[in-house]
Amino acid sequence: MEKVGVYICTGCDIDRLDVERLKNVAKEEFGIEPKVHPHLCSQQGVEMLKKDASELDALVIAACSPRVKTALFTFDDKYVERANLREGVVWSHEIDEHAQELAEDYLRIAITKAQKAMKPEPYIQEISKDILVVGGGVTGLTAALEIASAGYKAYLVEKEAELGGWVAKYYKTLPIEPPYRRIEENPVFRLVEEVKANENIEIYTSAHIDSISGQPGMFDVVLDKDGEKIQFRVGGIVVATGWKPYDASALEELGYGKFADVVTNLEFEEMAKGGKIVRKSDGGKVENVVFIQCAGQRDLNHLPYCSSVCCLVSLKQAKYVREIGGNAFIIYKDMRTPGLWEDFYKEMQQDVGIYLTKGEIREIKEENGKLTVFVTNTLLGEDIEIKADLVVLATGMVSTLKGLYTVKEEFPDEKAVPYKHIAEPHPVKSEEDVEIIKRAGHILNLSYRQGPELPTLKYGFPDSNYICFPYESRRLGIYAAGAVRAPMEIASCIEDARGAALKAIQAVELVAEGKTTFPRTGDIDFPNFFLQRCTQCKRCTEECPFGALDEDERGTPMPNPLRCRRCGICFGACPERIISFKTYSIDQMASAIKSIHVPDPNWEEGAEEKFRFIVFACENDALPALDMAALNGKKWSPLARVIPVRCLGSVNTVFIADALSKGIDGILLIGCKYGEDYQCHFIRGSELANRRMENVGETLQRLMLEKERVQVVEVSINEWDKIPEIINSFVNQIMEIGANPYKGF
Amino acid sequence: MAGEILVIGGGISGLTAAIEAAETGYDVILVEKNPYLGGRVSQLNKYFPKLCPPFCGLEILFKRMKSTPKLKYFTNAEVQEISGEPGNFTVKVKIRPRYVNENCTACGACREVCPVDAPDDYNFGMKNKKAIDLPNIMAMPFQYYIDDGYCNKCGECVSACRYNAIDLNEKEKELTLNVSAIIVATGWKPYDATKLENLGYGKYRNVITNMQMERLASPNGPTGGIIKTMDGKPIETIAFVQCAGSRDENHLPYCSAICCLASLKQATYVREQYPDAKIYIFYIDIRAFGRYEDFFAKVKADEKIELIKGKVAKVEEVNGKLVVTAEDTLSGVKSKREVDMVVLATGMQPAIEPIPGIELDEYGFVKAKPGIIPAGVAAMPVEVASANESATAAALKAIQLARR
């Protein structure tokens, strides 16, 4: 940026610093005459900034933390850089010469970053706002209808000949909205009719997806319908492929496959729908039906998780037994009818023919063609035996993504699983096995370098920060809904379909303007690749958590800007430093680091003031934690310069090298927790940073530098009370080791 | 031209709904009755099952808000009345004075001179605040406020403020909005534990609620995150009483959906600080549904955590110790445990007060009707993940109406 304005606020005790010296930094070192204001965020201060902004490319605001008064200090498309003098200096340090030098460095960093930033231009393409819905069950049907009602065209693809999914096989259903009290007529047929009648929905049944290439807004879909290829372009995708039943043949211990009268809940549902609830063995009348809950679920040998719906389903099916005059016995571990579903449970408890008890199945025996279920550890404390005409196993739901080859990293044929948070590598032994899995049962068939499906967490559930941002998958524009995402009943599927539909609509609207989505929503800047210097090391294409980069045959990255979340992990990965954003670049960061004033090397042995440290802090967690520490009057070493980064994953090892060669004594990276319960908003950034720094450690030792000089720590946003101590002990540790010997070279 | 969307409530559901709709390109107005956004989750120490701090997700939401000019919000604001029809609602909003305007820099000079100490509701009275204070350390907006109930209008803060940010004469305002759709995300309040007479709340100081436990465990809470008895003693034994009010015809007939997991989570707070403490959890059913079962399995593996099936009949104090007695209603088996502290897993009750134009069900949850879209716990008891799903779904229903 050419025209940079510098504004120093002296409010909130910033005037305790030597403001004249700060002004001189801007004036003498950068040739910019700064303006000083006693209350920059006042109406009058902002008016001044607004007026000046029209003549400027960038504004440097030396005041409070970038997290404070952010909207106020935003001026259309002007680049704004904040020097954090309040939380970062005066609130967190004794005001002395050290603090003064710290403030001056923050100003240097901010001005340098503003000067090195460039004006971003959005990546705007001719896009489609149509949305593809994969799966024609309740979730997919709802998603298609809701998308159409919002004014968008939906393509609905179903692999079976008929729409309706599993629910179409049900006799009756749980209620789809409160009050949750009675079983209801199956709503799916009405939904199917509505979908068929909707002009904004194009339906393809008996079809599967051959391939999807491109990027959000420009996904080119090729369908295969009975061998015929159908092509169209969509902007976003909702994955509603649902669930598959847990394979009951693994439940021989409960008599399945051994006794004819032991059936699954799905088989029982089909019997009810066919109007034939009879003994399977001899077609005889059914009087007693025993429902066995958690048939496989909550069991490490089968499905470790709870399928959420099976308690409700058995309660519903108990009602079917009552309709034919029989008695139902439900044996459960815990009756899980959370929230308002308690109403449904209570309603069923009113029925004298439905017996419920906690218990464990000891044995199922067959004598003279009739089953007996032996139950132990019951509520009454005694063992009971129940004669049963039918035993229904409440088997669980498995995500349709489970067992699929989803992303490359889930292949253990490449020695080890590189990312800790993926807990369940598939047991693939050989290249042939890999090929078999690759061909098996694909859903999306994405032509992404990293793999054909949505990346998953444990149990085949799509990877996301599932508490706070449940729909944010690792593939921009593609959102999962319904039982593919987590086991759920129909009411939840309907709601989930709406949520995913909204996200798909939002994605197409944003990419139409060249903007990214969560968490940097609206960011138009995207990474540029100077490919002439690419060495095809493939780090960027492998490490991008969002699969934004494909590869040509030689391994050169092929960027897809509309898939990009703008985390900067690629830019952190590149050893050739050829990836940069306009507003966040290698040159900018390296120059900012070099702008830090490292005192003259003619220093006395052990003189503290000569040490300098850099703290790269994740702007989502570590930076706010530092702000809160400052707000609470915590103090930390004034020798450390905190540089916020989008994600620790965007810290390139060249920053470390530059800092060390400049004479910085130690570098601390503070990022989010990683592993199975990762907190990183870019999924893997902090984990990747950790791995890269391990490699840096080895390099340091070759250079005869102590590896302790570069450290990574994981911190949560609420550990603000610990962060100052983390910085201080790092500083002290390095001061004990001694100054960086490269200082002054 | 699209009509505006109103979101009532600035907790996790309201924020999510508002931000998702605004980021899709719609104009959104959010009203929040507290002086800060973030709602109940901002009071929590950690979320289950990842044991991560709510402020982490809130920070992202706040950041997205700051860069979304389409989203406007009012704090200290309450909806009085709704009339009209889907696509064209008229909404009256009352905005109570904050007495501190946007000039506030959160420098804190006012707080230093304020002579009034007042019990802090955010910390359930376990900590004092000043009559002028920041609502919490990550407050959004990052701006002080005056608590009307305690301020004596002495004017000390006005003289201390260098930024002309305090106006003790600020008056209540009224606002009339015209909106297309209304998302009701008014959330919940903890069930009043004093109604649970047999459980000793209000009678014995070491009987606390699960929300109080969240504050005790929070680094910004009354004890700086150190869990102690109310007499300042370390915890050797502690009991969690599940369904304290929930699944009870005399109190909340429904299940609050989160309390089992919340107590399991709180057991990990205690364990982290006291490796040897004995922890008892009295329950009817442990409802760790879906993937949360993993978390239950992890907690259950702790040998010093004992899960006892049975509804707690009473909590008494005997020789300075609390005695918890549970009875299994079916088997009649009685269990007794002596503990230092009792945490009542009190349930969630809808927070909404009757508003003309919004229909409530028998429990006080908001009924969905065209244009009036409940989200999160306003609709039914749910945990945070489901609240976010519900809020995103609500945003979709709202944009369908707001689109013109």
Instruction: Answer whether residue B162 is part of any domain.
Output: no
Q: Got the DSSP string for A321-375?
A: HHHTT-EEEEEESS----TTHHHHHHHHHT-TTEEEEE-EEEEEEEETTEEEEEE
Instruction: Answer whether residue A617 is part of any domain.
Output: no
Kind of pairing, strands A35-37 and A207-215?
unpaired
Instruction: With beta carbons under 8 A apart, name residues in chain B contacting A673.
Output: 52
Co-location of A209 and A137 in the same domain: yes
Select from A177, A308, A720 the Cβ nearest to the Cβ of B219: A720
* Residue A379 Cα, gap to closest chain B Cα (Å): 6
Containing structural domain, residue B297: 192-347
Q: Which of A56, A86, A119 is the last residue of a domain?
A: A119
Co-location of B290 and B276 in the same domain: yes
Instruction: With beta carbons under 8 A apart, name residues in chain B contacting A498.
Output: 392-393, 396-397
Helix (H) or strand (E) holding B205: none
Q: Name the nearest CA neighbour of B18 among B181, B175, B189.
A: B181
CATH of the domain at B396: 3.50.50.60
Co-location of B180 and B319 in the same domain: no
Q: What percent of chain B has pLDDT over 70?
A: 99
User: Does the distance separating the beta carbons of B382 and A499 come in below 8 Å?
Assistant: no
Q: Which of A399, A414, A439 is the last residue of a domain?
A: A399
Q: How confident is the model at residue A599 (pLDDT cuts 50, 70, 90)?
A: confident
Looking at residue A609, what is its pLDDT?
65
Containing structural domain, residue A115: 1-119
Co-location of B391 and B375 in the same domain: yes
Mean pLDDT of A688-713: 90
CA quadruple B24, B59, A692, A661: dihedral, nearest 10 = 110
Q: How far apart are CA B162 and CA B155, in angstroms?
A: 13
User: Does the distance separating the beta carbons of A498 and B392 come in below 8 Å?
Assistant: yes
For B375, which residue in chain A has the nearest alpha carbon?
A495
Co-location of B209 and B330 in the same domain: yes
Instruction: Answer whether residue B383 is part of any domain.
Output: yes
- Positive or negative, the CA dihedral A427, A428, A430, A433 is positive
Mutation for testing the B interface, residue in A46, A198, A306 having most B CBs under 10 Å: A306
Tokens of A597: 């004033």
User: Does the distance separating the beta carbons of A471 and B107 come in below 8 Å?
Assistant: no
Instruction: Answer whether residue A272 is part of any domain.
Output: yes
Co-location of B340 and B214 in the same domain: yes
Q: Which of A601-615, B46-60, B122-136 has the lowest mean pLDDT?
A: A601-615
Summarize pLDDT for A725-736 with one digit per residue, the tens: 999 999 999 999
Q: Which of B321, B347, B373 is the last residue of a domain?
A: B347
| Residue with token string 């779904």 | B393
Instruction: Answer whether residue A378 is part of any domain.
Output: yes
Looking at residue A426, what is its pLDDT?
45
| Residue with token string 């001005």 | A111
Instruction: Answer whether residue A598 is part of any domain.
Output: no
b/e burial code for range A93-130 (CB count within 10 A of at least 16 → b) = beeeebbbbbbbbbbbbbbbbbbbbbebeebeeebbbb
Q: Name the nearest CA neighbour of A282 among A366, A215, A201.
A: A366
In this structure, are residues A101 and A638 in contact, taking their beta carbons and an 8 Å threshold?
yes
Above 80 in pLDDT, residue B393? yes
Q: How far apart are CA B210 and CA A665, in angstroms?
A: 47
Co-location of B328 and B369 in the same domain: no
Instruction: With beta carbons under 8 A apart, name residues in chain B contacting A13.
Output: 107
Q: Got the DSSP string for A223-264?
A: EEETTEEEEEEESEEEE---EEE--GGG-GGGTBTTBTTEEE
User: Does the distance separating the beta carbons of B286 and A334 come in below 8 Å?
Assistant: yes
* Residue B143 Cα, gap to closest chain A Cα (Å): 10
Instruction: With beta carbons under 8 A apart, name residues in chain A contacting B285.
Output: 334-336
Looking at residue A422, what is its pLDDT?
42
Co-location of B275 and B377 in the same domain: no
- Domains in chain B, number: 2
CA quadruple B158, B160, B163, B169: dihedral, nearest 10 = 0
Select from A306, A470, A505 the Cβ nearest to the Cβ of B388: A470
Summarize pLDDT for A4-38 with one digit per residue, the tens: 999 999 999 999 999 999 999 999 999 999 999 99
Above 70 in pLDDT, residue A408? no
Q: Name the nearest CA neighbour of B386 among B16, B124, B80.
A: B16
Co-location of A225 and A263 in the same domain: no
Q: How far apart are CA B145 and CA B135, in angstroms?
A: 7
Select from B47, B294, B380 the Cβ nearest to the Cβ of A339: B380
Co-location of B52 and B178 in the same domain: yes
User: Does the distance separating the beta carbons of B384 and A465 come in below 8 Å?
Assistant: no
Above 70 in pLDDT, residue A604? no
Mean pLDDT of B232-238: 97
Task: Please state the pTM of the whole predicted model.
Answer: 0.96
Summarize pLDDT for A436-465 with one digit per residue, the tens: 555 567 899 999 988 889 999 889 899 999
Instruction: With beta carbons under 8 A apart, name residues in chain B contacting A43.
Output: 103
Among left, alpha and beta (phi > 0; psi -120 to 50; other), residue A514 is left
Q: How far apart are CA B384 and CA A586, in angstroms?
A: 38
Q: What is the DSSP letter of A209?
A: E
Looking at residue A569, what is its pLDDT?
96
Co-location of B215 and B334 in the same domain: yes
Instruction: Answer whether residue A666 is part of any domain.
Output: no
Co-location of B318 and B382 in the same domain: no
ipTM score of the complex? 0.97
| Interface contacts A/B by beta carbons within 8 Å | 239
Above 50 in pLDDT, residue A430? yes
Select from B163, B255, B328 the Cβ nearest to the Cβ of A42: B163
User: Does the distance separating the beta carbons of A470 and B385 come in below 8 Å?
Assistant: yes
The answer to whether A581 faces chain B, any CB pair under 8 Å, is no
CATH of the domain at A441: 3.50.50.60
Summarize pLDDT for A253-291 with one digit per residue, the tens: 999 999 999 999 999 999 999 999 999 999 999 999 999
Co-location of B264 and B361 in the same domain: no
User: Does the distance separating the beta carbons of B331 and A380 come in below 8 Å?
Assistant: yes
The answer to whether B25 faces chain A, any CB pair under 8 Å, is yes
For A489, which residue in chain B has the nearest alpha carbon?
B290
Compute how many other C-beta atoms are within 10 angstroms of the C-beta atom of residue A195: 22
Instruction: Answer whether residue B363 is part of any domain.
Output: yes
- Domains in chain A, number: 4
Tokens of B278: 């004995």
Co-location of A54 and A69 in the same domain: yes
Instruction: Answer whether residue B142 is part of any domain.
Output: no
Instruction: Answer whether residue A532 is part of any domain.
Output: yes
Looking at residue A695, what is its pLDDT?
87
Alpha-helical segments (H) within B258-379:
259-273, 292-300
Q: Name the nearest CA neighbour of B385 among A470, A423, A315, A310.
A: A470
In this structure, are residues A519 and B67 in contact, taking their beta carbons and an 8 Å threshold?
no
Co-location of A166 and A215 in the same domain: yes
Select from A467, A505, A677 the Cβ nearest to the Cβ of B24: A505
Helices B12-23 and A490-512: angle between axes, nearest 10 degrees: 40
Q: Name the nearest CA neighbour of A478 among A235, A165, A681, A242.
A: A235
Co-location of A182 and A200 in the same domain: yes
Summarize pLDDT for A109-133 with one digit per residue, the tens: 999 999 999 999 999 999 999 999 9
Instruction: Answer whether residue A63 is part of any domain.
Output: yes
Question: Mapping DSSP to helix (H, G, I), strand (E, B) and coil, where does residue B204 land?
Answer: strand
| Residue with token string 């927070």 | B351
Looking at residue A407, what is its pLDDT?
74
* Residue A628 Cα, gap to closest chain B Cα (Å): 6
Co-location of A333 and A274 in the same domain: yes
